Amino acid sequence: MNRNTVKIALLSITATLVAVFLVFNLLPSEKQIEKQLLQKYDTSDPQFRRSMGVLLGPAIIEGNKVEVLLNGAQIFPAMLDAIRGAQHTITLETYIYWSETIGKEFSDALIERARAGVKVHVMLDFMGSIKMDLAAIDAMKAAGVHVQRYHKPVWWKFTRLNNRTHRKLLIVDGKTGFTGGVGIADQWRGNAEDDKHWRDTHFRVQGPVVGQMQAVFNDNWTKATGQVLDGPHYFPALEKAGAHDAQMFSSSPTGGSGSMHLMYLIAINAARNSINLSASYFVPDELAIKALVAARKRGVAVRIITPGPDIDSDIVRAASRERWGDLLKAGVKIAEYQPTMYHVKALIVDTMMVSVGSTNFDNRSFSINDEANLNVMDREFATQQAAIFDADWAKSKPITLQAWENRPWTDKLHGEIASLIGAQL
């Protein structure tokens, strides 16, 4: 065999391996939802709660207290206070954790509690924490913090790298939980006062649903480590803490990748009066577009806030805008947030049901990532969230159908190109 023949053979083998990697890494692992759902009930029908709590996931539990925290100025102090007050256990799962000033504050607080005898478990997504200083991880481990990096690449499981944990969960002593959109990085600091400080929302939770939050954390911890966290310090008896009915909903490619997608579709399909969607990454598939258009046709007012020019992924913005045509033609109102990057992830339906958490309105969240959302069924809470949405809408620039149709040809080209990889966004 001459040298050229060997080179050709090696190139062929390499190309085959790359193709195999792409097939296993990028194609969905489960059959996806293919048909549009029919409207069989609305949010006021008891069947809506039954479907959300039985067909889709864990039971909707009464007696919870859910408090909204706006931007890093409120979010980080609340989370750090809870960590510093921990007596028995801390479980933290997050996508982004970087070695910046807020990252150091969290690491220092976790280290101090571990040295005080608190059992501290930290699950970091490998890709999301890639900017984290390894010395910070080593310092936590040396202090007794149990740190696990989710889907750290190894050659025999390299195809898992595309499946990331995007969940944002903090549970302290099994009694107080936090979830929402915030990552542990300095751009989330402040109060969204300029383009260097992002707009985001997080939630502090008390009551029986915190047990479900802990179970969601335990799901990935067990998958990654083979260890089950159990006992009264992780799952204490929880008394009622408020009047909110809630459930902690999760999805994963290894345990129902289409369930989060289905949850959103059922909620949209049940809407009778209004849908307010805060979508930091809005790349809807055909089913989602059809569901939103169908909602408009039956008279539902639909408003969507997406990021404006300040966004951390131009390709996502291009792919998003490419999909707005049918929505705008149907009368869906879309506006781009102007002051800074908009990272809020919330769905408010009929001022009855609110879904908040880590899930973006895109295929990556619906089919590829591990996600977790808190669903709250409470009119007063939904009304409060709708008022926050209105305040964000007032700082957003509405996009008309005419403006969308007359956008520069370069924007249209970028959108068409971005759409080619829309399934990965």
DSSP assignment of 339-394: SS-B--EEEEETTTEEEEES--EEHIIIIISBEEEEEEE-HHHHHHHHHHHHHHHT
- What global pTM score does this model have? 0.88
Residue 411: which pLDDT band, with cuts at 50, 70 and 90?
A: confident
Q: Which residue has the higher pLDDT, 134 or 275?
A: 275
**Mean predicted confidence (pLDDT) in 54-69:** 92
The predicted pLDDT at position 160 comes to 55
**Mean predicted confidence (pLDDT) in 198-217:** 97
Question: Which residues are CB-neighbours of 125 under 8 A, at least 6 positions away?
Answer: 94, 95, 96, 149, 150, 151, 164, 165, 166
Q: What is d(CA 97, CA 122) in angstroms, rounded to the nearest whole number?
A: 11
Average pLDDT, the chain: 88
Residue 344 lies in a domain: yes
Q: Which residue has the higher pLDDT, 155 or 415?
A: 415
Residue 55: which pLDDT band, with cuts at 50, 70 and 90?
A: confident
**Mean predicted confidence (pLDDT) in 330-355:** 97
**Mean predicted confidence (pLDDT) in 116-130:** 93
The predicted pLDDT at position 409 comes to 85
What percentage of the chain carries pLDDT values higher than 70?
86
Q: What is d(CA 290, CA 112) in angstroms, rounded to the nearest whole number?
A: 51
**Mean predicted confidence (pLDDT) in 131-143:** 93
- Determine which of 20-29, 207-216, 329-338, 404-413 has the lowest per-residue pLDDT on average: 20-29
> Which domain does 161 fall in, by range?
29-424
Q: Put residue 253 in one of left, alpha, beta given phi > 0 → left and psi -120 to 50 → alpha.
A: alpha
Where helices occur in 149-285 by DSSP H, the ranges are: 209-225, 259-270
Strands 176-180 and 301-307: unpaired
Q: Which residue has the higher pLDDT, 255 or 119?
A: 119
Residue 43 lies in a domain: yes
To 5 degrees, how large is the angle CA 314–CA 365–CA 186? 55
Q: What is d(CA 150, CA 166) in angstroms, rounded to the nearest whole number?
A: 10
Q: Looking at residue 403, which CATH number applies to its domain?
A: 3.30.870.10
What percentage of the chain carries pLDDT values higher than 90?
66
Residue 12 lies in a domain: no
**Mean predicted confidence (pLDDT) in 250-276:** 86
Q: Which residue has the higher pLDDT, 31 or 402?
A: 402
**Mean predicted confidence (pLDDT) in 183-188:** 96
Residue 26, CA distances (Å) to 4, 17, 19, 30, 167 in order: 32, 14, 10, 12, 20
Residue 9 lies in a domain: no
Residue 209 lies in a domain: yes
Residue 38: which pLDDT band, with cuts at 50, 70 and 90?
A: low
65-119 pLDDT per residue, tens: 999 999 999 999 999 999 999 999 999 999 999 989 999 999 999 999 999 999 9
Residue 257: which pLDDT band, with cuts at 50, 70 and 90?
A: low
Residue 131 lies in a domain: yes
Residue 35: which pLDDT band, with cuts at 50, 70 and 90?
A: low
Residue 32, CA distances (Å) to 29, 295, 323, 366, 422 in order: 9, 22, 20, 10, 15
355-381 pLDDT per residue, tens: 999 998 888 888 888 899 999 999 999
Residue 357 lies in a domain: yes
Residue 22 lies in a domain: no
State yes or no: pLDDT of 31 exceeds 80.
no
Q: Which residue has the higher pLDDT, 369 or 60?
A: 60
**Which 8-state DSSP code applies to residue 143?**
T
As for how many domains the chain has, the answer is 1
**Mean predicted confidence (pLDDT) in 256-283:** 90
The predicted pLDDT at position 20 comes to 43
